[in-house]
Structure 1
């Protein structure tokens, strides 16, 4: 099998995502939840670097605080793709981590998706985008949207995706120094699980919320403080189960001005909302 000619200096983007709202409509018999959400990407994220190997080994070349290699979704994605393809190939993987762990921005899922897309290309394994998305679902509910790379209305556990065209505003993303457990939030007894089903028109009319906000802010007060601060700057919402909070602006300058007011104890960045992932843009050019 011929390997594609890429070097370890080629950065494969793994962008962040935002949940522009999040409703839980039911708890399933398998313990998971049916939900409705709206995904949009950001022009900010991690970068991954790959060097194919012929010995079948997958090696993460750099340490990531709090993430053992065997638990790393990028490593798991590479091993799963190798197993399903039967290619017998491996890879050295280096991750430049910019997205917070437990921040609700999809960093781990995005890393997994980028690994699937990149190694499918580098190993010439020939899976279609739809097949990669199905493989990605085995790793996590958010992985398919990163594989497909289009802003989407999502239902089911987040795997039923319908691409949408949304405004692409500027966001100020504020990241409190806490890591939120998604499992903890979805297992909370007080989580609202009977939201009525909504449509994109409901979102555009402002009739949607993130039902995880009251649960997360009760358990992680700093997230609540960041959300309160954000709402003093403009329309603010928590992404996913948190901890990150984003404020929406029409212009980059306005977002940058607000960033200067972010309290010193919180990290922050300004990013553009994108309906097409940077990963998708790269694949179109290859």
Structure 2
């Protein structure tokens, strides 16, 4: 009877030793997997340790930490920063677990804070760019947008604002082209208006026919027998206007001549057109 009891007791001790070794091996493998960032493998190892030691405090803490940390990482990658910070905090509160995981969780929290700070800075710059865009300060707005887009915006948290930046940049480019087109059209219209005004000014008639006739009469000391065309015709010559006035200097049958003078209707200049050419007289 004593022999049987001793054998049973020996078997229990042997089994307990085997369980302890399996437990320790599982815990160590789990910690090793944490070191190499293989968190699913670490989770499986800690589950195995709990099978060897039910409700073990250390294995329970390590398993909870590993699961919380994986959930924190997943939330972080999905830009759910509040949830990520909450899960990471739970990792740090497991004092019976892994110090390495606590350190990783603290680093994750720091990364979350950095992302939030960067996002706040970007939004402030974006609002400034939008204000300049609305004030038609396109160069300054575009410079701000380019500076923002040159930053590392690879994290999903920045994707919505990055899209807004790119849309604003497109709007800026369109506005610049529209402004340049409007300025060009305005310049063309101004040039056309100026040309029209110059044309109108060049053909403007400042003198009446009577005034043109007076200029001719005062031009020379004409013989008393000279007759003048008392009804001058306004003649368009290119872009200029002239009064054509015939003059007959009939002294006697042997001394008479007829000439055609033209008076610039704008400035009163007189030309002899008797031979078909404009010859200045005054």
Q: TM-score range by the shorter chain?
A: under 0.3
Give the structure-2-normalised TM-score: 0.18
Mark the structure with the bigger radius of gyration. 2
Q: TM-score, normalised by structure 1?
A: 0.17
Larger RCO: Structure 1 or Structure 2 (Cα < 8 Å, ≥ 6 residues apart)? 1
Which of the pair is proportionally richer in helix?
A: 2
